[in-house]
Amino acid sequence: MIYVCSDIHGRYDLYLALLAQLLLKPSDTLYILGDVIDRGPDGIKILQDMMKRPNVVPILGNHEFTAAVCLPWLLDEVTEQSLAELDATRWAAIQEQLINGAGPTLRGLKALTQEQRREIIDYIREMELYAEVEVGGRNYVLVHAGLEHFSLGKPLEGYELSDFLFCRPRLGQNYGQDWFIVYGHTPSRLLRQQLGEVPSDGILFRGNQIAVDCGCGFGGPLGCLCLDTLEEIYTTNELKRNERASSP
């Protein structure tokens, strides 16, 4: 089975609860579409657990990208010289990270050895921007935020890093492709509000787009989708498992 979830944001408790529900076999794969860290208390614990599991595959999120930019500097000794050498780009990255809830992540790193910190940074730097999978006759592109500056026929490797990490989805976008795009980054509740629908934290299906960020970082459930069966799995009692009989 192939599973997809996103935007865990430090909720180690919900991450463990999801693993307990999935009971992953060696032949199963769980893709996590970025933003494992920040906001919640235990993003570092989640990363350390993911590093041990070959069938849990990370996709880079904007929070991991920002961490990769500024954490190596923060882990070095801070001196007057290092401060003087800090350029505007890195200053901006550090400010963005702190504004977006990096405090728990930094505290988690502080409790580790220098070697453990380096292992985590290396793990983040090795994350891919997207994954392409074929399941049940359907082709899926798995990304963090969506696909900005879309152009028909343009190969995925032709897009910029920012196109995968920072965009907000356009639910009316017709990708004109024979695949479904699965993303997180923007909570499904906000997307439903934009559509004028009743707000709900469940996974959102619109055309060939599937939004799987259910607001875990803001008090919502951690949602997960099985691409084989289109079953939705949630780690709270607010939403029940729901079998989808039709294609998205």
Q: How many helices (H) and strands (E) does the chain have?
A: 9, 10
Residue 240 pLDDT grade (very low, low, confident, very high; cuts 50, 70, 90): very low
pLDDT reported for residue 168: 93
Of 4 and 245, the structure prediction assigns the larger pLDDT to: 4
Residue 242 within a domain: no
Tokens linked to 192:
């439903």
pTM higher than 0.85 for the full model? Answer: yes
Residue 243 within a domain: no
Which residues lie across from 30 on neighbouring strands?
Answer: 3, 56
Residue 74 pLDDT grade (very low, low, confident, very high; cuts 50, 70, 90): low
- Let me know: does 70 contact 97? Beta carbons within 8 Å: yes
Tokens linked to 111:
């409790």
Percent of all residues in the chain with a pLDDT value above 70, rounded to a whole number: 83
15-54 burial, b for 16+ CB within 10 Å, e for fewer? bebbbeebebeeeebbbbbbbbbbbbbbbbbbbbbbeeee
The 10s digit of each residue's pLDDT in 162-192 is: 999 999 998 988 887 789 999 999 999 999 9
- H helix or E strand, kind and range, residue 182: strand 179-183
Q: In the β-sheet with 209-211, what is the strand arrangement from edge to edge?
A: 130-135, 138-143, 179-183, 209-211, 204-206
DSSP secondary-structure letter at 167?
A: -
Taking alpha carbons only, the member of 205, 204, 217, 164 closest to residue 35 is 217
If you average pLDDT over residues 77-89, what whole number do you get?
A: 57
Residue 147 pLDDT grade (very low, low, confident, very high; cuts 50, 70, 90): very high
The 10s digit of each residue's pLDDT in 110-141 is: 888 888 988 999 999 999 999 999 999 999 99
Residue 167 within a domain: yes
Give me the helices (H) in the chain, please.
Answer: 12-22, 43-51, 62-75, 80-84, 88-99, 103-110, 114-125, 161-165, 188-194
Residue 140 within a domain: yes
Residue 192 within a domain: yes
Q: In the β-sheet with 29-32, what is the strand arrangement from edge to edge?
A: 56-58, 29-32, 2-5, 223-226, 232-234
Residue range(s) defining the domain that contains residue 174: 2-234
pLDDT reported for residue 95: 65
Average pLDDT, the chain: 87
Residue 248 within a domain: no
The 10s digit of each residue's pLDDT in 197-233 is: 998 999 999 999 999 999 999 999 999 999 999 999 9
CATH number assigned to the domain comprising residue 163? 3.60.21.10
Percent of all residues in the chain with a pLDDT value above 90, rounded to a whole number: 67
What residue type is 199 in one-letter code?
Answer: P
Residue 50 pLDDT grade (very low, low, confident, very high; cuts 50, 70, 90): very high
C-alpha atoms less than 13 angstroms from C-alpha of 237 in its C-beta half-sphere: 0
Residue 92 within a domain: yes
Residue 102 pLDDT grade (very low, low, confident, very high; cuts 50, 70, 90): confident
Q: Cβ of 67: how many Cβ atoms within 10 Å?
A: 27
pLDDT reported for residue 68: 86
Residue 156 within a domain: yes
- Let me know: does 124 contact 48? Beta carbons within 8 Å: no
pLDDT reported for residue 78: 47
What residue type is 185 in one-letter code?
Answer: H
What's the total number of domains in the chain?
1
Residue 91 pLDDT grade (very low, low, confident, very high; cuts 50, 70, 90): low
